[in-house]
Amino acid sequence: MGLKYRLKEINQKLQINSLVKYATGVLKRVRVQYKILGLVVGVVLLLSSMIVWQMGNILTNNLRDQLDKRAVSIGSDVAARATNELLINNDYAVYELLQNTLKNNQDILYLFVVDPQGNVLAHTFGEAFPKELLKANAVAGTDNYHLTVFRTEVGIVRDVAVPILNGKLGVARVGMNENGLQKAVLQMTWNLLLIALFVSALGIIAAVLLTRVLTQPIRELVALTQRVTKGELDVQGIVHSQDEIGVLTEAFNQMTVSLSQNHREREKLMGALKEKEEMRLQLLEKVMTAQEEERKRISRELHDETSQALTSLMVGIKVLESEASVCAVGDRLQDMRQIVSQTLEEVHHLARELRPSVLDDMGLVPALDRYIREYEMKFEIEIDFNVNGFQEYRVSAAIEVALYRIVQEALTNVAKYAEASTVSVLLDWREDWVLAIVEDNGKGFDLNQAVAQPGQGLGLFGMQERAALLGGTFNIESQNGIGTTVFIKIPVNMNQGQGRKELHV
């Protein structure tokens, strides 16, 4: 029996030692900082919140009871003092009684007296009496008073109705405002919160002082993390133990190695991408600039040379027609004159399409206005054109060209694809940006599907690139059967338009 007892005792000690070692190992992996801080802060905040909430409820209920008692007392006093005056039909004396009572009690919001038929005999509302108050509260014949609470524009009102001479002469109504009550509760709550914050601060300070001694490895890891945040990706932490902090430090070291490698690869890729993007923008800018210059040159040549030649040809044909004696020749020349006239008109139209001279001479608004008028006549689509902010100055030439071409492309797409009956065009120039909106009531389209198709969406891409070159944004919204809206927003330097007056036709 003694040997068995001895073996049992040894086994118990071994089990106890195993449990102690296991508990010690578990404690090494527990986050002491979070455990202490969470316990202290949680207990303090819970107790403080319960105290503040309970005290606030108690104070609110007590103050409301006192406010109701005051309202009943004031209503009873007004009813008693107004009895004699009502018996002799002295409504003015009742009015003075209400005014004096209102002046002597700051919490009173209003006072009024109604007769048994519901007619207002006197009140403190001035000229306009809110008739909805008559139905807000009513007192039964056997009640000494009746209290009701409702919310108004000025806050919560506690309305008391007191019968005058058992209701035979009417009812006195008193409306008490809860603003003073709420201020008192708020002040008390703030005082309690300050006390709770002070106690919480003491508890947190004590917990922080304790955890600073216990969490030195965590502070080292935090310092390393801050260095990584500043860009030092080659830092490594020292593993002090194999607990949770040690495992975290090893993971941190692996992370910094991976981040360093990824950062170097990313820098290389970003450098190459930046170079390609700069080259693309430069190339695109040169292409658009060359395109506009070529259009301007062709437009000038068409105006200066081709138009003059066709005009001279018309004059010569007219002279020949007047001198010819054969009727057939005259008819033929008449046809040729008509053809030349049509050709001249088409040349002028082509010149305006390539580069409208009104855009350079008079500005964006007159150019768009002329283009829209021609567009309406050509496609029979009604356009509502609105302008805001362009009354005095012009934006830069680059912005004028970009907005003109973007709106032109948008309206062209409407005529080709939208099957719309009306279009709205808005130009809005605020202090530092210009907004253009083109909206139609057409059939709309699926934007993702249009962009995904080969060869499609080039016009949209061109409009987007024009806006991007000037630091602007381009957005388009469209759904099948609803219509399409194009938004263009381009930043504007406020000093760029000084001296460039905007002309309107």
| pLDDT tens digits, 135-193 | 888 776 566 888 888 888 878 888 999 998 888 888 998 988 887 777 887 888 888 78
Segment among 76-85, 225-234, 463-472 with least mean pLDDT:
225-234
The 3-state DSSP class for residue 121 equals strand
Higher-confidence residue: 8 or 454?
8
Residue 337 has pLDDT above 80, yes or no: no
Model pLDDT, residue 499:
43
Mean pLDDT of the 37-54 span: 78
**Which range, 131-145, 340-354, 418-432, is most confident?**
418-432
Residue 505 has pLDDT above 60, yes or no: no
Model pLDDT, residue 184:
80
Please, which residues have CB within 8 angstroms of residue 306's CB and are 6 or more apart in sequence? 347
Model pLDDT, residue 423:
94
Higher-confidence residue: 39 or 442?
442
Give the separation between CA 228 and CA 230, rounded to whole angstroms: 5
DSSP letter assigned to residue 431: S
HSE, CB side, 13 Å, CA atoms: give it for residue 408. 22
Q: What tokens does 345 get? A: 């008109």
Nearest CA among 467, 481, 482 for reference residue 403? 467
Angle, vertex CA 166, rays to CA 162 and CA 167, nearest 5: 70
Q: Is 322 exposed, middle or buried (0-12, 13-18, 19+ CB in 10 A)?
A: exposed
Model pLDDT, residue 205:
80
H-type helices in 2-31, by residue range? 2-28
Model pLDDT, residue 461:
75
Angle, vertex CA 452, rays to CA 447 and CA 455, nearest 5: 105
Residue 496 has pLDDT above 70, yes or no: no
Model pLDDT, residue 435:
92
Angle, vertex CA 347, rays to CA 346 and CA 352, nearest 5: 95
Residue 320 has pLDDT above 80, yes or no: no
Nearest CA among 74, 121, 128, 130 for reference residue 102? 74
Q: What tokens does 347 get? A: 């040349």
Model pLDDT, residue 394:
84
Model pLDDT, residue 4:
65
Model pLDDT, residue 332:
56
Model pLDDT, residue 503:
47
Q: What tokens does 49 get? A: 């919140």
H-type helices in 302-356, by residue range? 307-323, 327-354
Segment among 261-275, 337-351, 490-504 with least mean pLDDT:
490-504
Please, which residues have CB within 8 angstroms of residue 219's CB and are 6 or more apart in sequence? 212
Q: In what order do the strands lie in the sheet with 108-114?
A: 120-123, 108-114, 170-177, 155-164, 146-152
CA distances, 366 to each of 295, 370, 403 (Å)? 19, 6, 13
DSSP letter assigned to residue 306: I
Confidence of residue 106 (pLDDT cuts 50, 70, 90): confident
Higher-confidence residue: 329 or 125?
125
Each residue of 247-258: pLDDT tens digit? 777 787 888 878
Residue 426 has pLDDT above 90, yes or no: yes
DSSP letter assigned to residue 495: T
Q: Which long-range contacts (CB under 8 A, 24 or more apart) does 157-160 make?
A: 157/109, 158/64, 158/67, 158/68, 158/71, 159/133, 160/68, 160/71, 160/72, 160/74, 160/75
Confidence of residue 62 (pLDDT cuts 50, 70, 90): confident
Model pLDDT, residue 271:
83
Model pLDDT, residue 339:
65
What whole-number percentage of the chain has pLDDT above 70? 74
Residue 383 has pLDDT above 90, yes or no: yes
Residue 241 has pLDDT above 80, yes or no: no
Q: What tokens does 70 get? A: 């005051």
Chain-centroid distance, C-alpha 133:
39
DSSP letter assigned to residue 501: B
For the full predicted model, state whether its pTM sits above 0.75.
no
Model pLDDT, residue 316:
62
Mean pLDDT of the 291-298 span: 70
Model pLDDT, residue 262:
82
Model pLDDT, residue 367:
86
Give the separation between CA 298 and CA 310, rounded to whole angstroms: 16
What whole-number percentage of the chain has pLDDT above 90? 9
Segment among 42-56, 317-331, 376-390 with least mean pLDDT:
317-331
Model pLDDT, residue 504:
46
